[in-house]
Amino acid sequence: MNQPRGTVVIDTERCKGCELCIEACPPDVLVMSTEVNETGYRYPLLQSGCTGCTACRMVCPDQVFEVYRFDARGA
């Protein structure tokens, strides 16, 4: 049951900190960091519970999300 359904890779260095992904995440598992990247923007961090729905990747203007799903629950 604790097997995650999905995960994302976040290219934090390209993030501009607009926070659109935080609002868009249906399971609400993205939070903003307190640290900043090289260009001075805060960036999203992932908590456990990702479903791999790609909503973050849909809304991200800077395309910093790459989405993976785990196939443990069948196709």
Partner 1 sequence: MTQELRIVPTDRPPADGKARKVADFRPSLMLGEHGLCPGCGEPVALRILLETLQDLGIVNNSIGVVGHGCYGSFVRIMDVDVLQCLHGRAPSCATGIKRMRPQTAVFTMQGDGDMVNEGLQEVLHTAARGENVTAILLNNGVFGDTGGQQTATTVLGQRTKTSIEGRDPGLHGHPIPVADLVASLDGVGYVARGAVGTAGSIARTKRMIRAAFESQLAGEGFSLVEILTMCPTGWFVGAPQGPDYLAESMEQVFPLGDLRARPKPSGAGA
Q: How far is the CB of 48 from partner 1 (least distance, A)?
A: 5
Binders in 45-74 for partner 1, by CB under 8 A = 45-48, 50, 52, 54-55, 57-72
Of 30, 9, 10, whose CA–CA distance to 20 is shortest? 30
Count the residues of the shown chain that bind partner 1, applying the rule CB under 8 A: 43
Nearer to partner 1, 1 or 72 (CB): 72
Q: How far is the CB of 28 from partner 1 (least distance, A)?
A: 12
Cβ atoms of 8 and 46 closer than 8 Å = yes
- The span from the CA of 54 to the CA of 36, in Å, is 24
